[in-house]
Structure 1
Amino acid sequence: MTSPASGRPLRADALRNRAKVLAAAEEVFAVQGTSASTEEVARKAGVGIGTVFRHFPTKESLLEAVLVALLERLAEEAGELRSAGDAGAAFFGFFSRVVSQAAAKQAVTEALAEAGVDARAATGRAGPGLKAALGTLLERAQEAGAVRADVGPSEVMALLTGMSYAAGRAGARDDILKIAFDGLRPRPDEAGAEETSTEETSTE
């Protein structure tokens, strides 16, 4: 991690202050909305406004950092779930987790768009990691028979994007998630066909 001003590596105390500011910003924006001031973020973090601006020269750069941190945290959570014993529960649980974070992500994305910042470009380094981790969870869930085999990462991402957008507007609803999950699970006839195929193979 380097300083935005000098380009030099940050000292340990500076890294701690940056982390405090970022954590405070996430909390403030989640409670008060993205229109909350950087002064409020500084108060929440227990630092001076100058400290905030040393790490994040503009409010847009702070919002961008909050969005990147959210995506990186989700990717890290997905990575930790790769070794989960129940691959199906890990996949569907993570899907629900992403949707539950949709409102916060959407609010920050829209605030950046209003400021003329392309959120997709701003989070380019975090997005691929999240997509790859989700792809691994999908593959493991399919191997476990928890997700239908004809669904690929692109279909899951499209569904996740749509569900997240809807959740960002109207809130995450368990009944809607259940419908989506029912569509991702293998149909009874598919499960029966797979079992028959396995039995035939074992008797040959």
Structure 2
Amino acid sequence: MRIGRGDDCRPTWQRDRLLRALGGTVLEIGAGDGVKLTCYPAEVDEIVLVEPDPFLRATARIASAACATPSRILDGDPARLPVPDASYDAVVCSLILCCTPQLETTLAEVRRVLRRGGELRFYEHQRSDLTAVALAQSVVTPLWSRVSGGCHLSRDIVTAIRRAGFIVERLDRFTFCHVTHTIGAARRA
């Protein structure tokens, strides 16, 4: 049984969809406060979290102490992951690909650390398929990015993942708080 903290340990449908049926060794990039640690399935053997922000890393350490699955938290940049090549069965990115200054480099790093056939799980902001909404996203992104930790609402994350050499196997698009999001799974080709 997982140890959690109140409602935080109950997965939202987004967290459930993102993490369902994961197993093996998992690298989570941009771990934030570590609340997702309580949502990982029991089939996961180890979770390594990379978080560049010192405050969030410290908060994630608290969550890690309450996690039933062995976990460790590393300081690191998504564009230069401090882990060996081909060392993970899955990489989880949750609202980090929309924020990373070097999207292509970050995705190349994800590909580098995944074992052959490994899986990228992502939950990200996504440029809308609707032309008017996509235009609005482009207009507000410079201001939004300044006040939202570098987030780029107008990025086409799914296309970037495909260009980085992944095969998207599952993709759900939805609107949450008037912003287009996507949750998906992609395999390293």
Tell which structure's C-alpha radius of gyration is larger: 1
- TM-score clears 0.5: no
By percentage of residues, which structure has more strand? 2
- Superposition TM-score, scaled by structure 1 size: 0.27
Question: Which structure has the highest helix share of the two?
Answer: 1
Relative to the length of structure 2, the TM-score reads 0.28
